[in-house]
Amino acid sequence: MVARSNVVEFRAISQSGSVAPVGVSKQSLELLGRAEALLVNARNVGSDEMLELSYCAALRCAGALLNRDDASAAGGSGSGSRSGSAVKRRRSTTQSAWLRLKKEQPEFDSWVAKFEQFTALREEVRLGISRRIDSRRAQELWDLSCAFLGAVRAELGVLPAAA
Residue-level pLDDT at 76: 44
The pTM for the full model equals 0.76
Lowest mean pLDDT among 42-56, 58-72, 87-101, 123-137: 87-101
- Dist CA 18 CA 73 (whole Å): 19
Domain layout of the chain by residue ranges:
28-77+94-156
Q: What is the mean pLDDT of residues 66-86?
A: 54
The answer to whether 82 touches 105, Cβ cutoff 8 Å, is yes
- CATH, range 28-77+94-156: 1.20.120
154, 20 Cβ separation under 8 angstroms? no
